[in-house]
A = this chain, B = another copy of it.
Amino acid sequence: MARARRLRLHTHDELVAVMRTDSPVCHAEGLAPHTQIFVRNGGRPIVATLFQVDDAFLAEDEIGLSEAAWEALGVDEGTTVDVGHAPPLESIACVRQRIYGHRLNAAALSSIVEDVVAGRYADVHLAAFLTATAALPFDEDETYHLTKAMVDAGDRLSWPGGIIVDKHCVGGLPGNRTTPIIVAIATACGLTMPKTSSRAITSPAGTADTMATLTSIDLDLDAMQRVVTAEGGCLAWGGAVCLSPADDIFIGVERALDIDTEGQLIASVLSKKIAAGATHVVLDIPVGPTAKVRSAEAADRLAATRTSVAGRFGLVTRCIQTDGAQPVGRAIGPALEARDVIAVLKGDPDAPPDLRDRACVLAGVILEIGEAAAAGAGRALAERTLTDGYAWKKFQRICDAQGGMRTPPTARLTHPIVATHSGRVTHIDNRRIARLAKLAGAPDTPAAGMRLHVRLGDDIIAGQPLLTLHAESQGEMAYGLAYAASNPDMLMIAP
Protein backbone atom coordinates (compact mmCIF):
# COMPACT_ATOMS: atom_id res chain seq x y z
CA MET A 1 0.00 0.00 0.00
CA ALA A 2 1.25 3.47 -0.85
CA ARG A 3 -0.18 6.95 -1.35
CA ALA A 4 -0.34 8.04 -4.98
CA ARG A 5 1.46 11.24 -5.87
CA ARG A 6 1.40 12.93 -9.23
CA LEU A 7 4.96 13.80 -10.25
CA ARG A 8 4.01 15.80 -13.36
CA LEU A 9 6.74 13.78 -15.03
CA HIS A 10 6.41 13.47 -18.81
CA THR A 11 7.69 10.16 -20.18
CA HIS A 12 5.72 10.04 -23.45
CA ASP A 13 3.82 6.73 -23.13
CA GLU A 14 6.02 4.91 -20.61
CA LEU A 15 4.32 4.15 -17.29
CA VAL A 16 6.86 5.03 -14.60
CA ALA A 17 6.49 4.77 -10.83
CA VAL A 18 9.02 6.13 -8.32
CA MET A 19 9.32 4.98 -4.71
CA ARG A 20 11.80 5.50 -1.90
CA THR A 21 14.54 2.87 -1.75
CA ASP A 22 13.80 2.50 1.97
CA SER A 23 10.00 2.38 1.67
CA PRO A 24 8.40 -0.44 3.68
CA VAL A 25 6.51 -1.77 0.66
CA CYS A 26 9.67 -2.06 -1.48
CA HIS A 27 11.29 -3.92 1.37
CA ALA A 28 8.35 -6.21 2.13
CA GLU A 29 7.73 -7.04 -1.52
CA GLY A 30 11.39 -7.23 -2.53
CA LEU A 31 11.00 -4.58 -5.25
CA ALA A 32 14.19 -3.60 -7.10
CA PRO A 33 14.72 -0.67 -9.50
CA HIS A 34 13.84 -1.13 -13.18
CA THR A 35 11.52 -4.05 -12.43
CA GLN A 36 7.88 -4.11 -13.48
CA ILE A 37 5.38 -3.56 -10.67
CA PHE A 38 1.60 -3.47 -10.55
CA VAL A 39 -0.25 -0.50 -9.07
CA ARG A 40 -3.95 -0.97 -8.36
CA ASN A 41 -6.74 1.28 -7.18
CA GLY A 42 -9.52 -1.26 -6.68
CA GLY A 43 -10.08 -2.12 -10.34
CA ARG A 44 -7.73 -3.19 -13.08
CA PRO A 45 -4.06 -2.81 -12.21
CA ILE A 46 -1.56 -0.93 -14.32
CA VAL A 47 1.96 -2.24 -14.79
CA ALA A 48 4.74 0.34 -14.45
CA THR A 49 8.52 0.45 -14.48
CA LEU A 50 9.77 1.12 -10.95
CA PHE A 51 12.57 3.56 -10.26
CA GLN A 52 13.76 4.22 -6.72
CA VAL A 53 15.11 7.35 -5.00
CA ASP A 54 17.22 7.78 -1.87
CA ASP A 55 16.18 11.39 -1.73
CA ALA A 56 13.52 12.77 0.59
CA PHE A 57 11.45 14.41 -2.15
CA LEU A 58 9.06 11.49 -1.75
CA ALA A 59 7.77 10.31 1.62
CA GLU A 60 8.43 6.69 2.63
CA ASP A 61 4.81 5.70 2.01
CA GLU A 62 4.36 7.55 -1.30
CA ILE A 63 4.46 6.28 -4.85
CA GLY A 64 5.19 8.95 -7.46
CA LEU A 65 3.60 8.43 -10.88
CA SER A 66 4.47 9.73 -14.33
CA GLU A 67 1.69 11.48 -16.27
CA ALA A 68 1.05 8.37 -18.40
CA ALA A 69 0.78 6.20 -15.28
CA TRP A 70 -1.37 8.80 -13.49
CA GLU A 71 -3.85 8.89 -16.39
CA ALA A 72 -3.90 5.11 -16.80
CA LEU A 73 -4.60 4.63 -13.09
CA GLY A 74 -7.13 7.46 -12.80
CA VAL A 75 -6.72 8.34 -9.11
CA ASP A 76 -6.70 11.50 -6.99
CA GLU A 77 -3.68 12.87 -5.15
CA GLY A 78 -3.08 10.87 -1.98
CA THR A 79 -5.32 7.89 -2.88
CA THR A 80 -4.06 4.69 -1.27
CA VAL A 81 -3.10 2.11 -3.89
CA ASP A 82 -1.87 -1.48 -3.81
CA VAL A 83 1.65 -2.11 -5.05
CA GLY A 84 3.51 -5.34 -5.76
CA HIS A 85 5.51 -7.39 -8.21
CA ALA A 86 3.93 -7.47 -11.65
CA PRO A 87 2.71 -11.04 -12.13
CA PRO A 88 4.84 -13.18 -14.46
CA LEU A 89 3.78 -12.60 -18.08
CA GLU A 90 2.82 -15.97 -19.54
CA SER A 91 2.34 -14.52 -23.03
CA ILE A 92 6.08 -13.73 -23.22
CA ALA A 93 6.58 -17.47 -23.72
CA CYS A 94 4.60 -17.10 -26.97
CA VAL A 95 6.85 -14.23 -28.07
CA ARG A 96 9.87 -16.41 -27.36
CA GLN A 97 8.42 -19.24 -29.43
CA ARG A 98 7.79 -16.81 -32.27
CA ILE A 99 11.41 -15.60 -32.11
CA TYR A 100 12.51 -19.19 -32.62
CA GLY A 101 10.26 -19.58 -35.65
CA HIS A 102 7.06 -21.15 -34.29
CA ARG A 103 3.84 -19.74 -35.74
CA LEU A 104 1.32 -18.29 -33.28
CA ASN A 105 -2.32 -19.35 -33.07
CA ALA A 106 -5.40 -17.30 -32.21
CA ALA A 107 -5.10 -17.88 -28.45
CA ALA A 108 -1.42 -16.92 -28.36
CA LEU A 109 -1.99 -13.72 -30.33
CA SER A 110 -4.98 -12.83 -28.15
CA SER A 111 -2.95 -13.24 -24.98
CA ILE A 112 -0.12 -11.10 -26.37
CA VAL A 113 -2.45 -8.31 -27.53
CA GLU A 114 -4.34 -8.39 -24.22
CA ASP A 115 -1.11 -7.99 -22.22
CA VAL A 116 0.13 -5.25 -24.57
CA VAL A 117 -3.09 -3.25 -24.21
CA ALA A 118 -3.02 -3.67 -20.42
CA GLY A 119 0.43 -2.03 -20.47
CA ARG A 120 2.16 -5.17 -19.23
CA TYR A 121 4.82 -5.23 -21.97
CA ALA A 122 8.02 -3.30 -21.36
CA ASP A 123 9.80 -1.75 -24.34
CA VAL A 124 12.13 -4.73 -24.67
CA HIS A 125 9.18 -7.14 -24.95
CA LEU A 126 7.40 -5.01 -27.54
CA ALA A 127 10.60 -4.66 -29.55
CA ALA A 128 11.22 -8.41 -29.40
CA PHE A 129 7.70 -9.22 -30.63
CA LEU A 130 7.84 -6.75 -33.50
CA THR A 131 11.36 -7.74 -34.50
CA ALA A 132 10.44 -11.43 -34.50
CA THR A 133 7.51 -10.73 -36.82
CA ALA A 134 9.72 -8.64 -39.10
CA ALA A 135 12.39 -11.36 -39.29
CA LEU A 136 9.82 -14.06 -40.09
CA PRO A 137 6.79 -12.31 -41.60
CA PHE A 138 3.29 -13.23 -40.42
CA ASP A 139 1.48 -15.73 -42.61
CA GLU A 140 -2.13 -15.11 -43.59
CA ASP A 141 -3.61 -17.01 -40.64
CA GLU A 142 -1.46 -15.16 -38.15
CA THR A 143 -2.35 -11.87 -39.80
CA TYR A 144 -6.06 -12.70 -39.52
CA HIS A 145 -5.82 -13.75 -35.87
CA LEU A 146 -3.69 -10.74 -34.95
CA THR A 147 -6.18 -8.43 -36.65
CA LYS A 148 -9.07 -10.04 -34.79
CA ALA A 149 -7.24 -9.84 -31.45
CA MET A 150 -6.49 -6.17 -32.08
CA VAL A 151 -10.13 -5.40 -32.95
CA ASP A 152 -11.38 -7.29 -29.87
CA ALA A 153 -9.01 -5.43 -27.56
CA GLY A 154 -10.61 -2.04 -28.22
CA ASP A 155 -13.85 -0.18 -28.83
CA ARG A 156 -15.90 -0.81 -31.94
CA LEU A 157 -18.05 1.75 -33.72
CA SER A 158 -21.30 1.06 -35.51
CA TRP A 159 -23.16 3.35 -37.87
CA PRO A 160 -26.68 3.40 -39.21
CA GLY A 161 -27.13 2.63 -42.90
CA GLY A 162 -25.44 0.09 -45.13
CA ILE A 163 -22.27 1.37 -46.70
CA ILE A 164 -19.47 2.92 -44.67
CA VAL A 165 -16.48 3.88 -46.83
CA ASP A 166 -12.88 4.29 -45.81
CA LYS A 167 -9.45 4.58 -47.43
CA HIS A 168 -5.89 3.86 -46.54
CA CYS A 169 -2.47 4.39 -48.04
CA VAL A 170 0.34 1.94 -47.35
CA GLY A 171 2.64 4.92 -47.20
CA GLY A 172 6.25 5.46 -48.10
CA LEU A 173 5.58 8.53 -50.22
CA PRO A 174 6.28 11.89 -48.57
CA GLY A 175 3.58 14.52 -49.00
CA ASN A 176 0.90 12.04 -50.12
CA ARG A 177 -1.79 13.75 -48.04
CA THR A 178 -4.92 12.88 -50.06
CA THR A 179 -7.10 11.75 -47.14
CA PRO A 180 -8.51 15.13 -46.00
CA ILE A 181 -9.42 15.95 -49.61
CA ILE A 182 -11.03 12.54 -50.22
CA VAL A 183 -13.11 12.71 -47.02
CA ALA A 184 -14.34 16.16 -48.02
CA ILE A 185 -15.32 14.96 -51.51
CA ALA A 186 -16.94 11.69 -50.37
CA THR A 187 -19.01 13.27 -47.62
CA ALA A 188 -19.96 16.23 -49.84
CA CYS A 189 -21.39 13.59 -52.19
CA GLY A 190 -23.47 12.07 -49.40
CA LEU A 191 -21.33 9.10 -48.39
CA THR A 192 -20.59 8.17 -44.78
CA MET A 193 -16.83 8.24 -44.08
CA PRO A 194 -15.93 8.27 -40.36
CA LYS A 195 -12.20 8.54 -40.92
CA THR A 196 -9.73 7.78 -38.19
CA SER A 197 -6.04 8.18 -38.94
CA SER A 198 -2.77 7.28 -37.29
CA ARG A 199 0.11 9.49 -36.50
CA ALA A 200 3.25 8.90 -38.57
CA ILE A 201 5.06 5.62 -37.98
CA THR A 202 8.32 6.01 -39.86
CA SER A 203 7.33 8.95 -42.07
CA PRO A 204 7.64 12.72 -41.47
CA ALA A 205 3.84 13.14 -41.24
CA GLY A 206 0.70 11.05 -40.91
CA THR A 207 -2.79 12.31 -41.70
CA ALA A 208 -3.44 12.70 -37.97
CA ASP A 209 -0.31 14.85 -37.63
CA THR A 210 -1.43 17.08 -40.51
CA MET A 211 -5.06 17.36 -39.39
CA ALA A 212 -3.91 18.25 -35.87
CA THR A 213 -2.50 21.49 -37.29
CA LEU A 214 -5.94 22.36 -38.76
CA THR A 215 -8.44 21.34 -36.09
CA SER A 216 -8.95 19.25 -32.98
CA ILE A 217 -8.54 15.54 -33.77
CA ASP A 218 -8.75 14.09 -30.25
CA LEU A 219 -12.43 13.15 -30.60
CA ASP A 220 -13.83 10.65 -28.12
CA LEU A 221 -16.54 8.19 -29.17
CA ASP A 222 -19.40 10.58 -28.43
CA ALA A 223 -17.80 13.49 -30.24
CA MET A 224 -17.06 11.31 -33.24
CA GLN A 225 -20.65 10.04 -33.38
CA ARG A 226 -21.91 13.62 -33.17
CA VAL A 227 -19.62 14.92 -35.95
CA VAL A 228 -20.38 12.01 -38.28
CA THR A 229 -24.12 12.24 -37.66
CA ALA A 230 -24.03 15.94 -38.51
CA GLU A 231 -21.58 15.91 -41.44
CA GLY A 232 -21.38 12.32 -42.69
CA GLY A 233 -17.70 12.12 -41.85
CA CYS A 234 -14.84 13.20 -39.66
CA LEU A 235 -11.05 13.37 -39.64
CA ALA A 236 -10.13 12.09 -36.20
CA TRP A 237 -7.07 10.57 -34.57
CA GLY A 238 -7.60 6.83 -34.09
CA GLY A 239 -5.72 6.74 -30.80
CA ALA A 240 -8.23 9.00 -29.01
CA VAL A 241 -11.17 6.66 -29.60
CA CYS A 242 -9.44 3.50 -28.43
CA LEU A 243 -10.01 1.70 -31.73
CA SER A 244 -7.37 -1.01 -31.81
CA PRO A 245 -5.35 0.45 -28.92
CA ALA A 246 -2.67 -2.23 -29.36
CA ASP A 247 -1.87 -0.70 -32.73
CA ASP A 248 -0.94 2.64 -31.20
CA ILE A 249 1.44 0.91 -28.82
CA PHE A 250 3.01 -1.16 -31.61
CA ILE A 251 3.37 1.92 -33.79
CA GLY A 252 5.33 3.75 -31.08
CA VAL A 253 7.95 1.00 -31.02
CA GLU A 254 7.97 0.52 -34.81
CA ARG A 255 8.72 4.19 -35.06
CA ALA A 256 11.63 3.95 -32.63
CA LEU A 257 13.02 1.01 -34.60
CA ASP A 258 12.06 2.45 -37.99
CA ILE A 259 10.61 -0.89 -39.12
CA ASP A 260 7.17 -1.82 -40.33
CA THR A 261 6.25 -5.20 -41.65
CA GLU A 262 3.60 -6.39 -44.06
CA GLY A 263 1.56 -8.55 -41.67
CA GLN A 264 1.70 -5.94 -38.95
CA LEU A 265 0.80 -3.31 -41.53
CA ILE A 266 -2.26 -5.22 -42.69
CA ALA A 267 -3.36 -5.99 -39.12
CA SER A 268 -2.79 -2.39 -38.15
CA VAL A 269 -4.87 -0.97 -40.96
CA LEU A 270 -7.60 -3.60 -41.02
CA SER A 271 -8.11 -3.59 -37.25
CA LYS A 272 -8.60 0.17 -37.34
CA LYS A 273 -11.01 -0.01 -40.29
CA ILE A 274 -13.06 -2.88 -38.85
CA ALA A 275 -13.24 -1.27 -35.42
CA ALA A 276 -14.32 1.98 -37.07
CA GLY A 277 -17.21 0.14 -38.70
CA ALA A 278 -16.07 0.36 -42.34
CA THR A 279 -17.64 -1.92 -44.97
CA HIS A 280 -15.89 -0.73 -48.18
CA VAL A 281 -12.25 0.32 -48.27
CA VAL A 282 -9.95 1.69 -50.95
CA LEU A 283 -6.24 1.02 -50.54
CA ASP A 284 -3.69 3.34 -52.15
CA ILE A 285 -0.46 1.47 -52.96
CA PRO A 286 2.23 3.84 -54.27
CA VAL A 287 4.80 1.87 -56.30
CA GLY A 288 8.27 3.21 -57.01
CA PRO A 289 11.98 2.43 -56.63
CA THR A 290 12.24 4.21 -53.26
CA ALA A 291 8.61 3.86 -52.13
CA LYS A 292 7.58 1.27 -49.55
CA VAL A 293 6.34 -1.03 -52.34
CA ARG A 294 8.93 -1.27 -55.10
CA SER A 295 7.32 -3.28 -57.88
CA ALA A 296 3.93 -4.02 -59.40
CA GLU A 297 4.39 -7.68 -58.38
CA ALA A 298 4.98 -6.75 -54.74
CA ALA A 299 1.91 -4.52 -54.88
CA ASP A 300 -0.16 -7.37 -56.34
CA ARG A 301 1.01 -9.67 -53.56
CA LEU A 302 0.17 -7.13 -50.85
CA ALA A 303 -3.22 -6.47 -52.46
CA ALA A 304 -3.99 -10.20 -52.60
CA THR A 305 -3.15 -10.87 -48.93
CA ARG A 306 -4.86 -7.73 -47.81
CA THR A 307 -8.04 -8.40 -49.82
CA SER A 308 -8.14 -12.00 -48.66
CA VAL A 309 -7.72 -11.22 -44.95
CA ALA A 310 -10.24 -8.37 -45.22
CA GLY A 311 -12.68 -10.75 -46.90
CA ARG A 312 -12.58 -13.02 -43.83
CA PHE A 313 -14.08 -10.07 -41.93
CA GLY A 314 -16.65 -9.34 -44.67
CA LEU A 315 -14.85 -6.15 -45.71
CA VAL A 316 -14.87 -5.19 -49.41
CA THR A 317 -11.45 -3.91 -50.52
CA ARG A 318 -10.34 -2.21 -53.73
CA CYS A 319 -6.56 -1.79 -54.18
CA ILE A 320 -5.22 0.96 -56.46
CA GLN A 321 -1.60 1.13 -57.55
CA THR A 322 -0.37 4.73 -57.88
CA ASP A 323 2.84 6.38 -59.05
CA GLY A 324 5.40 6.29 -56.22
CA ALA A 325 8.41 7.65 -58.07
CA GLN A 326 8.62 10.98 -56.20
CA PRO A 327 7.01 12.89 -53.32
CA VAL A 328 3.47 14.22 -53.83
CA GLY A 329 2.69 17.92 -53.79
CA ARG A 330 5.30 20.44 -52.72
CA ALA A 331 5.38 20.09 -48.95
CA ILE A 332 6.62 17.55 -46.44
CA GLY A 333 5.82 17.83 -42.73
CA PRO A 334 2.50 18.17 -40.85
CA ALA A 335 1.79 21.92 -41.14
CA LEU A 336 3.38 22.32 -44.57
CA GLU A 337 1.26 19.48 -45.99
CA ALA A 338 -1.83 21.03 -44.39
CA ARG A 339 -1.23 24.14 -46.53
CA ASP A 340 -1.04 22.01 -49.69
CA VAL A 341 -4.33 20.30 -48.74
CA ILE A 342 -6.09 23.63 -48.19
CA ALA A 343 -4.76 24.96 -51.51
CA VAL A 344 -6.29 21.99 -53.37
CA LEU A 345 -9.60 22.25 -51.52
CA LYS A 346 -9.84 26.00 -52.16
CA GLY A 347 -8.95 25.54 -55.82
CA ASP A 348 -5.96 27.91 -55.57
CA PRO A 349 -4.40 28.31 -59.01
CA ASP A 350 -1.00 27.30 -57.63
CA ALA A 351 -2.31 24.22 -55.77
CA PRO A 352 -0.15 21.17 -56.52
CA PRO A 353 -1.85 19.45 -59.49
CA ASP A 354 -0.44 15.99 -58.71
CA LEU A 355 -1.97 16.01 -55.21
CA ARG A 356 -5.30 17.11 -56.70
CA ASP A 357 -5.21 14.39 -59.38
CA ARG A 358 -4.35 11.58 -56.95
CA ALA A 359 -7.11 12.66 -54.55
CA CYS A 360 -9.65 12.69 -57.41
CA VAL A 361 -8.62 9.23 -58.68
CA LEU A 362 -8.98 7.68 -55.24
CA ALA A 363 -12.13 9.64 -54.33
CA GLY A 364 -13.58 8.51 -57.67
CA VAL A 365 -13.14 4.84 -56.75
CA ILE A 366 -14.70 5.47 -53.34
CA LEU A 367 -17.70 7.22 -54.93
CA GLU A 368 -18.13 4.18 -57.21
CA ILE A 369 -17.83 1.44 -54.56
CA GLY A 370 -19.97 3.59 -52.26
CA GLU A 371 -22.62 3.71 -55.01
CA ALA A 372 -22.62 7.51 -55.24
CA ALA A 373 -21.38 7.34 -58.84
CA ALA A 374 -21.84 4.87 -61.69
CA ALA A 375 -18.89 2.72 -62.67
CA GLY A 376 -16.41 4.92 -64.55
CA ALA A 377 -18.07 8.18 -63.51
CA GLY A 378 -16.47 8.54 -60.08
CA ARG A 379 -13.43 10.60 -61.00
CA ALA A 380 -15.42 13.21 -62.93
CA LEU A 381 -17.84 13.59 -60.00
CA ALA A 382 -14.88 13.99 -57.61
CA GLU A 383 -13.38 16.73 -59.79
CA ARG A 384 -16.68 18.55 -60.09
CA THR A 385 -17.15 18.40 -56.32
CA LEU A 386 -13.78 20.10 -55.89
CA THR A 387 -14.24 22.66 -58.66
CA ASP A 388 -17.70 23.69 -57.50
CA GLY A 389 -16.40 24.37 -53.96
CA TYR A 390 -18.60 21.74 -52.28
CA ALA A 391 -15.61 19.81 -50.95
CA TRP A 392 -14.02 22.94 -49.43
CA LYS A 393 -17.33 23.91 -47.79
CA LYS A 394 -17.73 20.40 -46.41
CA PHE A 395 -14.16 20.34 -45.11
CA GLN A 396 -14.73 23.60 -43.22
CA ARG A 397 -17.98 22.25 -41.76
CA ILE A 398 -16.22 19.09 -40.57
CA CYS A 399 -13.43 21.14 -38.95
CA ASP A 400 -16.03 23.39 -37.32
CA ALA A 401 -17.89 20.36 -35.98
CA GLN A 402 -14.60 19.03 -34.58
CA GLY A 403 -14.03 22.24 -32.65
CA GLY A 404 -13.09 24.94 -35.17
CA MET A 405 -10.52 25.44 -37.87
CA ARG A 406 -7.00 26.60 -37.07
CA THR A 407 -4.15 28.10 -39.08
CA PRO A 408 -1.18 25.71 -39.28
CA PRO A 409 1.97 26.96 -37.51
CA THR A 410 4.96 28.38 -39.37
CA ALA A 411 8.53 27.35 -38.56
CA ARG A 412 10.86 29.84 -36.91
CA LEU A 413 13.81 28.88 -39.09
CA THR A 414 14.06 28.21 -42.84
CA HIS A 415 17.12 27.48 -44.95
CA PRO A 416 17.34 26.83 -48.69
CA ILE A 417 19.38 24.01 -50.19
CA VAL A 418 20.60 24.95 -53.66
CA ALA A 419 21.74 23.02 -56.72
CA THR A 420 25.53 22.65 -56.92
CA HIS A 421 25.38 22.23 -60.69
CA SER A 422 23.00 22.59 -63.63
CA GLY A 423 21.12 19.75 -65.26
CA ARG A 424 17.91 17.74 -65.20
CA VAL A 425 16.33 16.11 -62.09
CA THR A 426 16.50 12.37 -62.82
CA HIS A 427 15.85 10.76 -59.44
CA ILE A 428 14.31 11.75 -56.10
CA ASP A 429 14.97 9.42 -53.16
CA ASN A 430 11.71 9.31 -51.15
CA ARG A 431 13.39 7.67 -48.16
CA ARG A 432 16.19 10.15 -47.81
CA ILE A 433 13.85 13.09 -48.42
CA ALA A 434 11.67 11.71 -45.59
CA ARG A 435 14.71 11.22 -43.39
CA LEU A 436 15.77 14.81 -43.99
CA ALA A 437 12.32 16.12 -43.00
CA LYS A 438 12.45 14.00 -39.84
CA LEU A 439 15.89 15.28 -38.89
CA ALA A 440 14.48 18.79 -39.20
CA GLY A 441 11.92 17.83 -36.54
CA ALA A 442 8.86 16.44 -38.37
CA PRO A 443 6.44 15.10 -37.25
CA ASP A 444 7.01 15.85 -33.53
CA THR A 445 7.50 19.50 -34.39
CA PRO A 446 4.43 20.21 -36.57
CA ALA A 447 5.88 23.21 -38.39
CA ALA A 448 9.08 21.36 -39.33
CA GLY A 449 9.79 19.70 -42.67
CA MET A 450 10.49 21.12 -46.11
CA ARG A 451 9.12 22.71 -49.24
CA LEU A 452 10.33 20.88 -52.31
CA HIS A 453 10.77 23.22 -55.28
CA VAL A 454 11.54 20.73 -58.05
CA ARG A 455 10.03 17.61 -59.60
CA LEU A 456 11.35 14.80 -61.78
CA GLY A 457 12.28 16.06 -65.26
CA ASP A 458 12.73 19.71 -64.23
CA ASP A 459 15.69 21.56 -65.73
CA ILE A 460 17.76 23.21 -63.03
CA ILE A 461 20.54 25.78 -63.08
CA ALA A 462 23.37 25.83 -60.54
CA GLY A 463 22.48 27.89 -57.47
CA GLN A 464 18.72 27.42 -57.89
CA PRO A 465 16.98 26.38 -54.62
CA LEU A 466 15.98 22.69 -54.70
CA LEU A 467 14.18 22.71 -51.38
CA THR A 468 13.78 24.84 -48.27
CA LEU A 469 14.25 23.21 -44.89
CA HIS A 470 11.90 24.33 -42.08
CA ALA A 471 12.83 23.81 -38.42
CA GLU A 472 11.95 25.19 -34.99
CA SER A 473 15.35 24.74 -33.34
CA GLN A 474 18.94 25.42 -34.36
CA GLY A 475 19.90 21.87 -33.33
CA GLU A 476 17.40 20.25 -35.67
CA MET A 477 18.23 22.62 -38.53
CA ALA A 478 21.90 21.74 -38.08
CA TYR A 479 21.18 17.99 -38.25
CA GLY A 480 19.10 18.48 -41.38
CA LEU A 481 21.71 20.60 -43.15
CA ALA A 482 24.50 18.19 -42.25
CA TYR A 483 22.48 15.27 -43.60
CA ALA A 484 21.65 17.16 -46.81
CA ALA A 485 25.32 18.07 -47.30
CA SER A 486 26.42 14.44 -46.95
CA ASN A 487 23.63 13.13 -49.22
CA PRO A 488 23.80 15.34 -52.32
CA ASP A 489 22.46 12.53 -54.56
CA MET A 490 19.15 12.38 -52.67
CA LEU A 491 18.04 14.69 -55.53
CA MET A 492 19.98 13.52 -58.55
CA ILE A 493 20.72 16.10 -61.23
CA ALA A 494 22.20 14.74 -64.45
CA PRO A 495 24.29 17.31 -66.36
Q: Give me the interface of A with B, judged by CB distance under 8 Å.
A: 7-14, 16, 18, 21, 27-30, 32-34, 51-55, 57, 66, 84-85, 87-88, 92, 95-96, 99-101, 122-128, 130-132, 134-136, 253, 256-259, 439, 441, 444-445, 471-476, 479, 483
Contact = CB atoms under 8 A, between A and B. Distances in A.
A11 B30 contact: no
Nearest to A87: B479
A122 B29 CA distance: 28
B28 A479 contact: no
Contact of A92 (B96, B134, B258, B473): B258
A100 B135 contact: yes
Given A51-B16, A122-B256, A124-B126, A30 B88 contact: no
A334 B69 CA distance: 34
Contacts of A476: 29-30, 85
Contacts of A472: 30
Nearest to A18: B9
A159 to B, nearest CB: 36
Contacts of A439: 88
A423 to B, nearest CB: 29
Contacts of A8: 53-55
18 contacts: A9-B18, A10-B21, A12-B32, A14-B34, A29-B475, A29-B476, A30-B445, A57-B57, A88-B439, A88-B483, A96-B257, A122-B256, A123-B124, A124-B124, A124-B253, A128-B130, A131-B131, A132-B135
A53 B7 contact: yes
B475 A10 contact: no
A125 to B, nearest CB: 7
